[in-house]
A and B are shown apart, each in its own frame.
Chain A
Amino acid sequence: MATKAYQRVYTKLEGITKATVSLKAKGVSNDELAVVDGRLAQVVRIKGETVTLQVFSGTEGIPTNAEVVFLGEPPVLKVSDQLSGRFFDAYGHPIDGGPEIDGEERPIGGPSVNPYKRRQPSQLIPTGIAGIDLNNTLVSGQKIPFFADPDQPYNQVMADVALRADVDKIILGGMGLSNDDYLFFRHSFEAAGALDKIICFINTTENPPVERLLVPDMALTAAEYFAVDKNEKVLVLLTDMTLYADALSIVSNRMDQIPSKDSMPGSLYSDLAKIYEKAVQLPTGGSITIIAVTTLNDGDITHAIPDNTGYITEGQLFLRADSDTGKVIIDPFRSLSRLKQLVQGKKTREDHSQVMNASVRLYADAQNAKTKLENGFDLSDYDHRCLDYSKDYARELLAIDVNIGITEMLDTAWKLFAKYFTPAETGIKQALIDKYWVK
């Protein structure tokens, strides 16, 4: 990064930790960027004349006489239509070999939308996956994470969802992505011929962890440009937010802050909320929808990261391996879309919510039957039918490799009802039974 002629250069560091350096400097503003020994850093604390800088790429090898130059502005992203189809690092520099972007500089991590100016989300986002569209319908302006163990194919599901969703832009914020996963995203976007509407900000495991802290803000600043300035429907994908939170805890630890639950910083809730609350439906028609990934440790949702996330987001999608069918399914019990009632039956067929409830309830009966079986109790005829139904239901609707329209999902559910149950056993309203029951 070029230094300008009038800038003061400091050459005496007073303290160095693994993530921060501190030095005496004057006229420094909070949150502004600096270059320490050629590496980008940001002001995180000012105490008298002592300034503490968080060095994004780590402090390995930085000597006490390193050159420090303050840049006088917070991290910015240049925004313009040229962002489309490009791949960037956490600082917003191209990593695809293409030219730098020309555009207006916008500080990242900007102010929030006035809640009074928001609109209630009401646009359906179809994904083709029945576990989502049928049971946990997504709505534009929603924020929702996948909760998944690290061995599950969450990135593949997310790429599928993104490519099938009817949106104007897809912005990927990759944090701690393995290089393989980065290339996977790149190839799937290329293969789908969707490159023109994709923008990626990528931090891989090869990059220093603290750099990740910039990625969501970069992605969302780009998203706000397209949603607010261009009135576009933008889908933001953030993976993996657990690694983002880990980076937060590294920095707060180096700054001697007292950790709260699970050694996470006390401000974790606010830090995550600042990101997720960028999801918005604007009155002008533009919207930002956020789909994130939070990896779990052995399905534990009481850990501080998924727990705080759950309080912020509008539901969660749970991936689980189903032993009956050998497929990965969207768990109908633990998944939830809090906004689904805003579109179900309104943007979809009238029987949607009744069919959803009935199919999940019958699946729950099957789980009870399974428990009975495991405990050595006798099964009734109904129990047996439930068990058979549950296998079909998991294979034809819950599995993530399903890709059909919502009306077809509803028809499939009616077909399964008719195959295994009487109309009364489904508990669906008579008027709908009369209209849709498969004879």
Chain B
Amino acid sequence: MTHVARAFLLGVLLFLYAPIIVMVAMAFNASPLYAMPFEFSTRWFGALAGDAVLIDSTRNSLVIAVLTAVIATILGTAASLALERKRFMGRAILRILLLPPIAIPWIISGTAMLLFFFWTGIGRGFHAMLIGHVALAIPYVVLVVGTGLKNVRVDLEEAAQSLGSTPLHAFFAVTLPLLAPSIAAAALFAFAVSLDQFVISYFLATPGYSTLPVQIYTAIRKGFTPEINAISALLLGFSMLAILAFVCLSKAGGTLERR
């Protein structure tokens, strides 16, 4: 029974990783037509360095992701404080209103934004993408920070108030430091959501301003080239490193907590 399970897991892992490994391997193949036999080369990575459009769009992606993380984290944290800690009418409805950004297919929200922003003169490009990305990231932030807030007891803030803190000081002295790991995780999540976002960026991109995923899509549609493999391999390596760093950090945080 156990070896059947192991064999199945191996199959799943093969299914998940095989294409990615093949794709990365091809990034190091000298032939522009992915021709065999394999001949090792780093020329495609070299070609990337000279590709101004890719470099620009990479910078755009990073700038938007950082701004999205900052804005969505601040807004979402504030909202989750109210949704988690305050009692008021309509709280349930406000929670449901957080769902559309996640539960509506991106192509619908993306085209809706394109149409509305164009119509009202907000336009497309950097600021339009930022508006969209933040809206997509906010629900995740509310979720992550809300879960964190459930683990910070309300009576800690009450205790601070009983000791002479104003509600605001109680929040900054007690709740915020205890919530910091959740907020950091939420920010990271928002960053990842934005960096990975393709559909909405695609509809809001202008000829002069686009993000890396949009550029990759355009490049793929123009035809496969090993250059796409190279940039994909780089991105993959980057995400894997980020994940590893995150895991190590959270482990370190975990041990600190237990200490």
Q: Do A and B bind each other?
A: no
Residues of chain A at the chain B interface (Cβ within 8 Å): none
| Residues in B lying within 8 Å of A, measured CB to CB | none
